[in-house]
Amino acid sequence: MPELPEVETVRRYLDTCLSGGSIARVRLARKDLRFPFPVSFTERLTGARILKVSRRAKYLLIACEKDARKIVWLVHLGMSGKLLWLPNEKGDEQPREQGLGVDHRHVCVDLRECKDGCGVLCYDDARRFGFMDLCNGDAMANDCLRLQKLGIEPLSNLFSGSWLWHSVVCTINNRSRGYGRTIKDILMDQGYVAGLGNIYVTEGLWHARVHPMRVIKDITLDDCERISRGIRKVLRMAIDAGGSSLKDYRKGDGSLGYFQLNLRAYGRTNEACLRKDCDGKINKATIGGRASYFCSNVAR
């Protein structure tokens, strides 16, 4: 499943390729993905100019302008969605047919005046858990309903140990409920921090030396500092790794896959802990169908 670093890598690539381009034609092979396409999807996008590609949590936000109005094209890749940019050969002015409806290719968007000239942006999704939406206005001005309940971005300056301590841990502890939730559960709650999934939370907590099942009332300010550093560290390493995997992505098969992140805990059941001077091994616990991995020497 594409996680935040994968989505961010795709965003960086598409932003350089698509910004400034204009949408000449939108073709759909079906009426829905995970959800139906919004009403008049193709008409609303046709003729729009792409301003930039940004990201919020795991949403790609393609900011467009049409008839002096702003419109945001939201793309969520779900479990297996891929957005592929297939530029034309030099001098080839007509966007080529790109196999719409074949091999899980559900959307083809013809673009002109991009950096590479003309081309087709294709959306492939075997499992169809992805979806697209349109919203009038500006995503960063909070005009999009789907984005309004999302918490802060883990790579933004807002995400810090003191934010985690004051705005999350202390706030929850001052309520009559919620302080028995685990730190892992809280970090995966999109309303607090947006875009974190199981792998990056597991790895971030390993770096932070905090047990994933430690409950909120036992989390200290010092834990919060180490957690924010750990989460940012694994996300940055994954995005760096993503940059190097883009070479294959550009070839057009879209298989960014999982980045070759050096996983320290995730999936390493019973293997030795990789922390220097630690003689622990990685334990696994499954709660609510989700696996947690942690070093046996880290206190719960």
The single residue among 51, 100, 246, 278 that binds Zn ion, judged by CB under 5 A, is 278
Under the criterion CB under 5 A, does residue 273 sit at the interface with Zn ion?
yes
Backbone phi, psi, residue 17, to 5°: -80, -40
Residues between 63 and 122 with contacts to Zn ion, criterion CB under 5 A: none
DSSP 212-256: TT-BGGG--HHHHHHHHHHHHHHHHHHHHHHHHHHHHIIIII---
In DSSP terms, 81 is beta-bridged to 125
Active-site residue among 2, 87, 95, 154? 2
Active-site residue among 25, 112, 226, 290? 290
Is position 181 annotated as part of the catalytic site? no
Is position 58 annotated as part of the catalytic site? yes
Active-site residue among 44, 56, 58, 264? 58
Q: Which of the ranges 64-72, 73-81, 123-131, 276-284 carries the binding residues for Zn ion, by CB under 5 A?
A: 276-284
| Intra-chain end-to-end CA distance of the chain, in Å | 29
| Shorter beta-carbon distance to Zn ion: residue 56 or 268 | 268
The single residue among 12, 275, 284, 290 that binds Zn ion, judged by CB under 5 A, is 275
| Shorter beta-carbon distance to Zn ion: residue 195 or 212 | 212
Q: In this structure, are residues 59 and 75 in contact, taking their beta carbons and an 8 Å threshold?
A: yes
| Shorter beta-carbon distance to Zn ion: residue 62 or 273 | 273
d(CA 120, CA 111): 6
**Region of residue 296 (phi > 0: left; psi between -120 and 50: alpha; otherwise: beta):** alpha
Site of tokens 């297939």: 86
Q: Which of the ranges 88-96, 152-160, 254-262, 267-275 carries the binding residues for Zn ion, by CB under 5 A?
A: 267-275
| Shorter beta-carbon distance to Zn ion: residue 75 or 273 | 273
| Shorter beta-carbon distance to Zn ion: residue 134 or 273 | 273
Among 85, 5, 17, 1, smallest CA distance to 245 is for 5
Under the criterion CB under 5 A, does residue 295 sit at the interface with Zn ion?
yes
CB of 268 to Zn ion, least distance (A): 11
Active-site residue among 3, 6, 8, 203? 3
The helix/strand/coil state of 44 is: helix
Under the criterion CB under 5 A, does residue 280 sit at the interface with Zn ion?
yes
Q: In this structure, are residues 106 and 33 in contact, taking their beta carbons and an 8 Å threshold?
A: yes
As to burial, measured by CB atoms within 10 angstroms (0-12 exposed, 13-18 middle, 19+ buried), residue 15 is middle
CB of 213 to Zn ion, least distance (A): 16
Tokens of 98: 């790109």
Number of residues that bind Zn ion (CB under 5 A): 6
Site of tokens 């940059």: 243
Q: In this structure, are residues 64 and 41 in contact, taking their beta carbons and an 8 Å threshold?
A: no
| Shorter beta-carbon distance to Zn ion: residue 65 or 271 | 271
As to burial, measured by CB atoms within 10 angstroms (0-12 exposed, 13-18 middle, 19+ buried), residue 39 is exposed
Residues between 20 and 49 with contacts to Zn ion, criterion CB under 5 A: none
Q: Which of the ranges 106-114, 129-137, 155-163, 268-276 carries the binding residues for Zn ion, by CB under 5 A?
A: 268-276
Q: Which of the ranges 124-132, 173-181, 212-220, 290-298 carries the binding residues for Zn ion, by CB under 5 A?
A: 290-298
Is position 3 annotated as part of the catalytic site? yes
Which residues have a catalytic role annotated? 2-3, 58, 290
Binding site for Zn ion (CB under 5 A): 273, 275, 278, 280, 295, 297
